[in-house]
Amino acid sequence: MPTFQYRALKTDGLITEGQLDAPGRPDALRQMEALGLRPVGLFEKKAAAGVQKPPAPAAERFSLSLQPQKVSGKALENFTRLLSSLLASGVPLSRALVILYREAAAPVVAAKWKEIHDLVVDGMSLADAMAKSPEVFPRVYVAMVQAGETGGFLDVVLSQIADFQSREKELRSKVMSAMLYPCILLTLALGVLTFLLVFFIPRFQKLFSGFGGALPLITQLIIGVSHVVRNYGLFVAAGLVAAGFLLRAWFTSETGRRVWESLVLRAPLVGGLVAQFALARFCRMLGTLLGAGVPLVQGLNVARKSIGNQILVDAVSQSIERVQQGGRLGQSLADCKRLFSGSVLEMISVAEESGRLDSELVRIAAVTEGDLDRELKTAVAFAEPLMLFMIAGFIGTIFIGMLLPIFTLQQYIK
């Protein structure tokens, strides 16, 4: 049976240390509660160096290797909402975390929630415990939890986070569904072009090789591309993959990321959609935090992390400095023209004067999301015929280039 070393507060407020035997950490905590101790730290004593645990059975190792290693967004949303409900009903944080990891369906999810519970029981704040798992808890999530812990309204903030996650997921699903059909068209176009270059054109090339005379320039170019694809296709693909990795590494760097995001914002159609998406996230996040009681400056520091585009984050950061110096929010955001239009700034200023800034920001986010949904549908409706036209243009060019020498076949025969 494992032995646990504990450090706890007694009823008279003094610190005591000791050890106890228990089958697991929850049982050790229950024993401490029965003794009237409030845990400060609880650590399992390691076994002696010479004692080794027996290896797990092969079937168990195989089953563990097949388990997913990532906590899904749905699991995180359920965790957030259930934790908010438990805290709102008066359940202590440590006991609420025990309930959550015991009720988790997936073993990986249960292990992650248990890890958070153990860190909290050992004296760490919930936000700091979550910050140790950035692959599960985003920076914005941790910042909101930290704000809720500091202000004493953690249950309210967690409920707001769950609502925000639900709306964020819905908005992302709309964007992904809007891009699905154009991506399918692009994939089909690449497949058709590859088939024509690899299998179709070589048959015509054998036909043309029996005749003298020069082929038209467009036919020569198409045959040359077909030759490169057939003989050096693997090398070309490897080069493209390597170039893709290099570009990705450059885009993830600070300089490359700023250059790319600046180009995206200046794009004729995409730039406006990206700015609207960032505006909706910023306004909903800030409105959610203000509605939960988070101070304005702290809410701005958290909300700017949800924007996603570093160029816009820098612009908002300059506005936060003006708010810290005593400026009004509407006037401070006026310099960030790419994100906030004149009408939005006017609505924020009026709401700030009337004391309903939180509800107005949420309303602006809802209106912006509706506009974004309509513009996405319009963009997709425009992209579909454009891609069909491009596909038809590529395929038509190949057919014309291959059939053009046939029209002059009589001259070759003579």
Q: Which two tokens stand for residue 246?
A: 């290099």
Based on the domain organization, do 36 and 173 belong to the same domain?
no
123 part of a folded domain: no
Q: With beta carbons less than 8 A apart as the criterion, state whether 185 and 384 touch.
A: yes
**Domains held by the chain: number:** 2
pLDDT for res 118 = 87
pLDDT for res 52 = 42
**Average pLDDT value for residue range 152-178:** 75
Burial degree of 273 (CB within 10 A; 0-12, 13-18, 19+):
middle
CATH number reported for the structural domain that contains residue 187 in this entry: 1.20.81.30
Q: How confident is the model at residue 69 (pLDDT cuts 50, 70, 90)?
A: low
Based on the domain organization, do 24 and 157 belong to the same domain?
no
Please tell me the distance from the alpha carbon of residue 4 to that of residue 182, in angstroms, as a whole number: 58
Model confidence at 187: pLDDT above 70 = yes
Q: With beta carbons less than 8 A apart as the criterion, state whether 171 and 164 touch.
A: no
7 part of a folded domain: yes
pLDDT for res 11 = 65
- Its domain, for residue 10, covers 3-44
178 part of a folded domain: yes
Residue bearing the bigger pLDDT, 269 or 363: 363
Residue 252, SS3 per DSSP: helix
pLDDT for res 366 = 86
104 part of a folded domain: no
276 part of a folded domain: yes
45-65 residue pLDDT tens: 654 444 444 444 443 333 333
pLDDT for res 284 = 81
Q: How confident is the model at residue 378 (pLDDT cuts 50, 70, 90)?
A: confident
Based on the domain organization, do 162 and 34 belong to the same domain?
no
Residue 306, SS3 per DSSP: helix
pLDDT for res 205 = 67
**Average pLDDT value for residue range 31-46:** 72
Please tell me the distance from the alpha carbon of residue 223 to that of residue 204, in angstroms, as a whole number: 9
92 part of a folded domain: no
Beta-strand pair 38-44/15-21: unpaired
**Average pLDDT value for residue range 106-116:** 87
Mean pLDDT of the chain: 77
Question: Quick one: what percent of the chain has pLDDT higher than 90?
Answer: 0
Ranked by mean pLDDT, which of 105-119, 161-175, 205-219 comes out on top?
105-119
Model confidence at 243: pLDDT above 80 = yes
Point out the least confidently predicted range of 71-85, 208-222, 380-394.
208-222
308 part of a folded domain: yes
367 part of a folded domain: yes
